[in-house]
Amino acid sequence: MSQPSSPSERVIDVREIEPRFRHEIIVRLFENLMPEATLQLIADHPPRPLRHQFEMRYGDRFRWTYLEEGPEVWRVRLERLGQGASISVAPLATPIADAPPATSLPTSRNR
């Protein structure tokens, strides 16, 4: 059973985002979290590659908490650590020039 989200938690159902844009959108949302805010992700598979990406990119500056671990749904809470700490942004391995603005995210349903 999952824990309820708080008012300072943004919940993103990544199942509705086109797969090729998911990680970049999640990283951008995470980097723009307000202090004390969290990001909860809902996925239909274990988000191990994303966790590895976060470990490589942010090290000990984030907390990854599983709220639900399958078999149908995975829920993860992401939290920035170190209040007021800035996060340096490493360049992306692959440019996302084709990514849509955050206001018009592509969904798996409208491909």
* 52 part of a folded domain: yes
- CATH number for the domain including 87? 3.30.110.40
Interhelix angle 22-31/48-58, nearest 10 degrees: 40
pLDDT for 20: 95
Residue 3 lies in a domain: no
Report the pLDDT value the prediction gives residue 90, as an integer from 0 to 100: 43
Confirm whether pTM is higher than 0.75. no
Q: Has residue 102 been placed in a domain?
A: no
- Any domain includes 76: yes
Per the structure, the count of domains in the chain is 1
pLDDT averaged per 10 residues in sequence order, the chain, 111 residues? 66 96 96 90 96 95 95 96 54 45 52 45
| Residue 59 located in a structural domain | yes
Whole-number pLDDT of residue 2:
47
Residue 101 placed within a domain: no
Structural domain contains residue 38: yes
Give the domain extent around 84: 9-96
Q: What is the DSSP string of the chain?
A: -PPPPPTTEEEEEGGGS-GGGHHHHHHHHHHTPPTT-EEEEEESS--HHHHHHHHHHHTTSEEEEEEEE-SS-EEEEEEE-STT---PPPPPSS--TTPPPGGG---GGG-
